[in-house]
Amino acid sequence: MGISNVAKAKLAALEEVGEDELFEQIAQGKSLRSLMRERNFGFKLWSRWLDAKDGRRERYQAAQLEAGHFFAERAVDTAQNTDPSMVNVARLQVDTDKWMASKLDAQYDTRQRDVAINISVNDLHAQAAQLLGDVIEGDAVEVDEDE
């Protein structure tokens, strides 16, 4: 089963706009969803278009990283230049831009990470017994304080 004529026409329309233009719009903060509405295509067609040329998906991912920088910078600008009467609105805008930046570029994800550490007391006892056995069985070692 091949691709429909409608899908072919939509892919041709994306090709006509060109990846440079589309990726530039994404890098400047335009959402993929907005592009889809404007140009009348869906995720499946977008994925097909990305995979139609070697390296295109990687260039799209690079545009997303640039968009992360865009949103982070906009969050800073909003926070620094807000009118005192608009603080609550600005706070929501900053939080939204921070969230967008963190989703597009992991370096902007400031959530605290939990690190799981498992310690087995039995393993610690076994290691200590092994070390103690090595010291008892081994020769005494002189320690020169000058070294």
pLDDT of the residue at 126: 79
Q: Write down the domain spans for the chain.
A: 5-108
| C-beta separation of 94 from 79 below 8 A | yes
pLDDT in tens, the chain (147 residues): 578 999 999 999 999 999 999 999 999 999 999 999 999 999 999 999 999 999 999 999 999 999 999 999 999 999 999 999 999 999 999 999 999 999 998 888 877 666 667 777 777 777 888 887 766 665 555 556 665
- pLDDT tens digits for 101-125? 999 988 888 776 666 677 777 777 7
Return the CATH fold of 5-108. Arc Repressor Mutant, subunit A (1.10.10)
| C-beta separation of 109 from 102 below 8 A | yes
CB neighbour class for 71 (10 Å; exposed up to 12, middle 13-18, buried from 19): buried
φ and ψ at 52, to 5 degrees?
Answer: -70, -25
